[in-house]
Amino acid sequence: MRIVDLINKKKHGESLSKEEIDFFIFGYTNGELPDYQVSALLMAIYFKGMDSREIADLTDAMVRSGDQVDLSAIEGIKVDKHSTGGVGDKISLIVIPLVASLGVPVAKMSGRGLGHTGGTIDKLESIEGFQVELTNEKFIANVNQYKMAIVGQSGNLTPADKKLYALRDVTGTIDSIPLIASSIMSKKIAAGTDAIVLDVKVGSGAFMKSLDEARELAKTMVAIGNSLNRKTVAVITNMDQPLGHEIGNANEVKEAIEVLSGHGAEDETEVALTIASYMAVLGGAFKTIGEAREHFEKIIRSGEAIELFKKFVEIQGGNPEFVTHLEKLPQSKYHIEVKSDIEGYVSGFDSEKVGISAMMLGAGRRKKEDTIDFAAGITLKKKMGDHINFGDILCVLHTNLEEVEEAKNIVKSAFIVSNKKPDQVKYIYEIVE
């Protein structure tokens, strides 16, 4: 078998066989195929696409390219969720204790943030003592006993995806639905979960800018999951503005705690309860989404949800006092108000600019090796539909840096203001099952 034959085949829009896909993936992972030929094949896939069988075979090959996590020692249906990335997205922190309250095991592997999107692991590490490096034995024991645990991604999971992503990044082939979908799903499947709820973000702060693109990605990933015997549902959610009011690691922990205490932001609460409800149904705890949601609303009102989050923090070595005394979370030295110099209604956001501004304040990484300032971030005082007067505070920047003029200008330009109040914002567009 020759890679040039696969390039020519795909160049003419033909389907690659399972054996040909295995040859491509394992040959590249093992260093037997050169970058220039694999780049040509990726470009052919970019232009000609792949059918559903090819995408499933590609995902499966990427899973088999490295280690796979064995969660068979965990009792019950293991349920996970994945977000395609957004600004202010702290949904994982909320859904883990909610779903665990039902006895549905949530064995979560998460990554760190890079660029304008934050990482769940970074957020949790802003809580004093919180440990994300657990042994496999401790991870499984925590899930069996408490039905919840989170660990940083480690080991040799999907090495093919790591190599391919680096090559896609420098060859203009990142934005290919088959390649995006197989990249995301290979990592989730290698992590050993039984069922997956996908939070597919769409809008100015998301990778998918249009609803049609997000719908295609969602359908493709759901098809992959189901074809590889993982119960999969996708929830397409709005990222035309940041989720909630807080961006930045400690800030987002604080806001997740507010949701679990019953007084969180409306958009964040709606997305979290929807995703948790689908996780509950996939995990077999309820037959309907309505029943699951009713349960979650009840335990939030009763105070049980926040107690479960405290337990989650405690079992991973964190200080539970940080949950009840939010002032203990990292605090920045400077709090800079950004004020409006026009009047009107907030009719839109360039959410990516908000994320970039937060990164410049210290809340994110430009490069993987950069360190995070847990206290840095942004508090939004105005969101879509809000009226603003001249001099009103649009947002507050939190930072330990003295020079933040560029970040201030960027976040100010992220607010789109018009004379007309926009239609009511939809938080959730569609469910793909």
Q: What's the CA gap between 358 and 378, in Å, rounded? A: 6
CA-closest candidate to residue 234, choices 221, 249, 250, 245 = 221
**Cα atoms found within 13 Å of the Cα of residue 35, Cβ hemisphere only:** 9
Q: Does the active-site annotation cover 176?
A: no
Is 161 labeled as catalytic in the residue annotation? yes
**C-alpha closest to that of 211 among 219, 202, 220:** 202
Point out the catalytic residue in the list 116, 187, 219, 230.
187
* Phi and psi angles of residue 107, each rounded to the nearest 5 degrees, phi first: -105, 95
Residues with Cβ within 8 Å of 128's Cβ and at least 6 positions away in sequence, in order, are 318, 319, 322, 328
Is residue 187 annotated as part of the catalytic site, yes or no? Answer: yes
Q: Which residues contact 222 (CB under 8 A, 6 or more apart)?
A: 198, 232, 233, 234, 432, 433
Active-site annotation holder among 10, 78, 81, 82: 82
Q: Is 82 a catalytic residue?
A: yes
Residue in 81, 116, 168, 408 annotated catalytic: 168
Say if residues 377 and 254 touch (Cβ distance below 8 Å): no
Which of 92, 101, 110, 183 is catalytic? The answer is 183
> Cβ distance 374 to 249 under 8 Å?
yes
Q: Catalytic: which of 22, 122, 161, 350? A: 161
110 assigned to active site: no
Please state the three-class secondary structure of 288-352 as a single string.
CHHHHHHHHHHHHHHCHHHHHHHHHHHHCCCCCHHHHCHHHCCCCCEEEEEECCCCEEEEEECHH
At residue 114, the 3 state secondary structure works out as strand
Query: Which of the residues are catalytic?
Result: 82, 161, 168, 183, 187
